[in-house]
A and B are shown apart, each in its own frame.
Chain A
Amino acid sequence: MSNGKITIYVDDVEVETEPGKTIMEACDASGIYIPRLCYHKDLIPGGHCRVCTIKVNGKPTNACTFPAQEGLVVENDTDELKEFRRNIIEMLFVEGNHVCPYCEKQGNCELQALAYRLGMIAPTYPYLFPKIEVDASHPDVYIDRNRCVICGRCVRASRDIDGKSVFGFVGRGNDKHIAVNAEHNLSETQLTAADRAADICPTGSIVVKRTAYKVPYGKRMYDQEPIGSDIEKSAKV
């Protein structure tokens, strides 16, 4: 405490950090990966997806929003939490239409990569096969809500980084989806392909057109190493 640092204990490992950091930030800096989906380091944490659920002093909470405090005891890489997280990923897979073989994001998709890392081979829940329309009206960007996981990254990026508020949530529960700030469709908004909101989607829901399949199979982002490996490697340096 004397040097302005605080210590938290993550799975019995001492993690030193500063007051004001979240548990996610403290762990990232120490090379401990906490699985996450809606979190992005450039955005204000949303706390939507619950994939980063940890246990703090025995109680479940979000790692991305919970502030680190001296002496906190955190459970992260436990069988219970891994199963909980895999169940969230499974539910996201069956609620939408996530067909990896023809998705432009394949190999670079965070949802797919989390499924690999968390050990989802085939979802154990029944598929819902909802009917969802694609909005390809914009000349440079399309939004395919079949692949949307309601993480809200586009909402936060467009509002807080681009200053345009092109995207927003509408509806509740199963009906919740991303709406665009226009009378009809995406082409009527101020969105451009250079916007942060256009390339921050973790899945293939918002994709810049004519950029797909440029990296060959085997060399894509998550082909050789699991998601989170970059964070885990950073600690060993």
Chain B
Amino acid sequence: MAKIKVATAHMAGCFGCHMSLLDIDERLVKLIELVDFDKSPIDDIKKFSGKVDVGIIEGGCASQENYEVLHSFRKHCSILVAVGECALTGGIPAMRNTVPLKECMEEAYLKGPSVVDGVIPNDPDIPLILDRVYPLHEVVKIDYFIPGCPPPADAYWQVLTALLEGKEPVISYEALKFD
């Protein structure tokens, strides 16, 4: 049987959810026997090689680049899984959502106490920031969610093994956490 293809991406988050995936420890060996990683920071592959079975996304949608990555994942992945508080709710980055974007940028780049000769960045190489941070399911259809900050390794394991076996994922009470 061909191996299942998995892609992962990191958006407006802290990479903690990817770290937590590595926390499945020795089960990683078993996972690697079952899956091949496609586009992912884990293997540093930058582009999709083709259609992927499972896409895992950490972090909220906060910039133009995030938006494009998210749509690219939706296009390439049969099943899309949002992982972690930021992907599910916007999380810590979404604290800026209560403040208008202009005020946020001015506070960070013009009025901040340590700013000298501040300029609001506007370089074509820097992705444009969105008006607010969006939970992923407000932008594209998400098939499954793994909450947590980060999700416990057991939650990852329970969802991934269920998906690999073609079953509906259920997260046990002990592994269901929002914090």
Name A's B-contacting residues (CB within 8 A).
Answer: 97, 99-103, 106-107, 112, 115-116, 121-123, 126-127, 129-132, 217, 223-226
Contact = CB atoms under 8 A, between A and B. Distances in A.
A130 B89 contact: no
Interface residues of B, number: 26
Interface in B83-100: 85, 88-92, 94-95, 97-99
Most central of A100, A107, A130, A217 by chain B CB within 10 Å: A100
Interface in B122-155: 132, 135, 137-138, 142, 145, 147, 149
B9 to A, nearest CB: 18
Nearest to B173: A226
Nearest to A229: B173
B174 A224 contact: yes
Given A100-B85, A126-B138, A131-B99, A116 B176 contact: yes
B173 A99 contact: no
B132 A100 contact: no
Interface of B: 82, 85, 88-92, 94-95, 97-99, 132, 135, 137-138, 142, 145, 147, 149, 171, 173-174, 176, 178-179
Nearest to B169: A121
30 contacts: A97-B98, A99-B85, A100-B85, A100-B178, A101-B85, A101-B91, A101-B149, A101-B179, A106-B178, A112-B178, A112-B179, A115-B178, A116-B173, A116-B176, A121-B88, A121-B147, A121-B176, A122-B142, A122-B145, A126-B138, A127-B90, A127-B97, A127-B138, A129-B90, A129-B97, A130-B98, A131-B98, A131-B99, A224-B174, A225-B173
B97 A122 contact: no
Contacts of B98: 97, 129-132
Contact of A99 (B82, B92, B171): B92
B179 A129 contact: no
Contact of B132 (A97, A102, A107, A129): A129
Contacts of B142: 122
A123 B173 contact: no
Nearest to B144: A121
Contact of B92 (A102, A112, A223): A102
